[in-house]
Amino acid sequence: MRFLALDKLINVQEGYRQRFKIDSLDLVLVREGGEVSAFAALCPHQEQSLEHGQIESGIIYCPRHGFAFSLISGEHLSGQCARLPIYTVHFEGNEVGILLED
């Protein structure tokens, strides 16, 4: 696994939300309810941006049709839609980022 640093830990305070486009990656890093999560920026339903989707109790709601996805598993809670890709958040030194397959 390879660590991809995204931001300084000190910047990732409650309510933090930032979209990153790096090579073929397009993801959102958030801190909500004390949890830091990273997930694909585009909804697996019809590719609406999830950058500004509402997050409550570890669930993100797509702004277009309201589909709800777990930020832990990526599962669509009603089960009709494909899974939202979730990234493994990792902390290293004073940085926060994600782990990528080699």
Q: Residues interacting with ligand FES, by CB under 6 A?
A: 43, 45-46, 48, 62, 64-65, 67
Which residue lies nearer to ligand FES by CB, 4 or 30? Answer: 30
How many CB atoms sit inside 10 A of residue 75's CB?
15
State phi, psi for 10 to the nearest 5 degrees.
-65, -25
Which residue lies nearer to ligand FES by CB, 46 or 88? Answer: 46
Q: What is the spatial distance between Cα 76 and Cα 21, in angstroms, rounded to a whole number?
A: 23
Which residue lies nearer to ligand FES by CB, 50 or 96? Answer: 50
CB 83 → ligand FES: shortest distance, Å? 13
Residue 20 pairs in a beta bridge with 27
